[in-house]
């Protein structure tokens, strides 16, 4: 990694073990209006789900399925945490 990167390698180590890394991005970044059902199914089976969701929340990921939640679900979670 470059020295100017703020996220350290250990913080992203979960990505190598995540099931999505073995599946490909199509399920996790579907076209607008497409189903995220398959992505969520894969996420439910993944041991890295908590780390993935934490990363998405901490980094304000706005697109795709992260940690088993869609963009709208993460947005709701952020609002609940802020309240």
Please write the tens of the pLDDT for every residue from 35-79. Answer: 999 999 999 999 999 999 999 999 999 999 999 999 999 999 989
Widest CA span in the chain: 39
pTM recorded for the entire structure: 0.81
Compare 83 and 48 and report the one with higher pLDDT: 48
- Check whether 3 has a pLDDT greater than 50: no
Q: pLDDT at residue 30 above 80?
A: yes
Q: Residue 13: pLDDT band by 50, 70, 90 thresholds?
A: confident
- The b/e string for 25-38 (b: 16+ C-beta within 10 A; e otherwise) is eebbebeeeeebee
């Amino acid at each position: 990694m470059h020295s100017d990167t703020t996220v350290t390698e250990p913080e992203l180590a979960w990505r190598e073990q995540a099931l999505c890394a073995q599946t490909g991005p199509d399920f996790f970044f579907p076209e607008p209006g497409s189903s995220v059902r398959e992505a969520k199914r894969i996420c439910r089976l993944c041991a890295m789900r908590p780390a993935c969701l934490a990363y998405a929340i901490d980094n304000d990921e706005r697109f795709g399925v992260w940690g088993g939640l869609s963009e709208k679900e993460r947005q709701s979670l952020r609002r609940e945490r802020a309240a």
